[in-house]
Amino acid sequence: MIKKFIHQFASPKTYLFQVDRAYPYIFYTSLSIYLGALFWGLFLTSEDFVQGNSYRIIYLHVPASFISQSLYLAMAFASAIFLIWKVKLSAYLVRSIAPIGAVTTFIALVSGAIWGIPTWGTWWAWDARIISTLILFIMYLGLISLHDSFTDNEKADKFLAILVIVGSVNIPIIKMSVEWWSTLHQTASITVTEKPAIDPSMLYPLFGSIIGFTGIVVCLVILSSKLQILKREKNKSWVKDYV
């Protein structure tokens, strides 16, 4: 039953056409949400008690780091689907998410560094969360280079999926790194169980920016996946009609 359901939606051609239709909506909606949240956060809220105006980079840094980790989890999920049910589209998705993940992690690292200058006095520190995020960045690059080093695409997909799953051990480390070790990073201000430790006037733009950023990243993933699909299926007849 599940197999049939998955195979129905697993055709790269169907995916491509559906995604083409949905793309403009997602793009413009998320762009407006993000810009709206940014505007609210940048201009309409007051300064932070401790950090002054410099805390405002939170509207870039937090969405970026949140997304970079979520993208990796998405890749792990897609890899599992690929290994169990052999859905080729999953493999394409994994390969297309990887570069976007790398870019997002890079943004997280750089925005974090910029934030660090006024608050910690340094743009780099070897604390656990920064190191694990750096490891995540290197992993993304490693995944891309591993996949591209193979001429045999089927093998490449398999190994990519395996490496993604083995490497997902890094994600819990990142998330828990602020709890397990005493680091420069503060502990989570937003958790599912407790009341947020952050002021509501900053909380809402933060949520907005996370949602908007997610949407923008989804658009990037869509573009990247279209590229992957067209590249890998280029011998099929429907591609020749499409292009």
Partner 1 sequence: MKKILVAENLSYKINDTKLFQNLSFSLNEGAAIHILGSNGSGKTSLLKIISGLTKQTKGEIEKNYNKDICFIGHKNALKQYLTVEDNLSLLEIEAHGNLKSFLQLLGLDKLLDVMVANLSYGQQKKLALLRLFLNNSDLLVLDEPCVGLDKKSQDILCTFLSDELNAKKALIFSSHISLDISAEVLQLDKA
Partner 2 sequence: MKLLKFELLKLRKKSRGWLGPILVFVLIMTAFPLTVEMLNKDIDQSFLSVLWIATLLVMMLATEDIFLEDFNDGTLEQMAIKHNSLSGVITIKIFVYWLLIGLPISLLGALYGFGITSSADLAIQLIPILMITTYIFLNVFSFGNALSLTKGSILGILITMPLVLPLLVVLGKVVIAINLGMNFLGFLFLLLGILSIIILVLPIIISFVIKAHLE
Whichever of 163 and 223 has its CB closer to partner 2, that residue is 163
- Token digits for 236? 């099929």
Whichever of 20 and 154 has its CB closer to partner 1, that residue is 154
What's the rounded Cα separation, in Å, for the pair 241 and 145? 31
Kindly indicate which of the ranges 93-101, 131-139, 195-203, 208-216 contains the residues binding partner 2, using the contact rule CB under 8 A: 131-139
Whichever of 49 and 126 has its CB closer to partner 2, that residue is 126
142 binds, among partner 1, partner 2, none (CB under 5 to 8 A by kind): partner 2
3-state secondary structure the chain: CHHHHHHHHCCHHHHHHHHHHHHHHHHHHHHHHHHHHHHHHHHHCCCECCCEHHHHHHHHHHHHHHHHHHHHHHHHHHHHHHHHHCCHHHHHHHHHHHHHHHHHHHHHHHHHHHHHHHHHCCCCCCCHHHHHHHHHHHHHHHHHHHHHCCCCHHHHHHHHHHHHHHHCCHHHHHHHHHHHCCCCCCCCCCCCCCCCCCCHHHHHHHHHHHHHHHHHHHHHHHHHHHHHHHHHCCCCHHHHHHC
* Closest distance of CB 84 from partner 1, Å: 16
What's the rounded Cα separation, in Å, for the pair 40 and 228? 37
2 binds, among partner 2, partner 1, none (CB under 5 to 8 A by kind): none
* Closest distance of CB 6 from partner 1, Å: 20
* Closest distance of CB 143 from partner 1, Å: 21
- Contact status: 132 vs partner 2 (CB under 8 A): yes
* Closest distance of CB 140 from partner 2, Å: 10
116 binds, among partner 1, partner 2, none (CB under 5 to 8 A by kind): none
Among 2, 8, 121, 149, binds partner 2 (CB under 8 A): 149
The count of chain residues that interact with partner 2, using the rule CB under 8 A, is 23
Whichever of 8 and 235 has its CB closer to partner 1, that residue is 235
- Contact status: 138 vs partner 2 (CB under 8 A): yes
Stretch 169-228 residues interacting with partner 2 (CB under 8 A): 169-170, 173, 181
- Token digits for 63? 């969405």
Rounded to a whole number of angstroms, the CA Rg of the chain reads 20
Residue pair 129/106 in contact (Cβ under 8 Å)? The answer is: no
181 binds, among partner 1, partner 2, none (CB under 5 to 8 A by kind): partner 2
The residues binding partner 2 (CB under 8 A) are: 128, 131-132, 135, 138-139, 142-143, 145-146, 149-150, 155, 158-159, 162-163, 166-167, 169-170, 173, 181
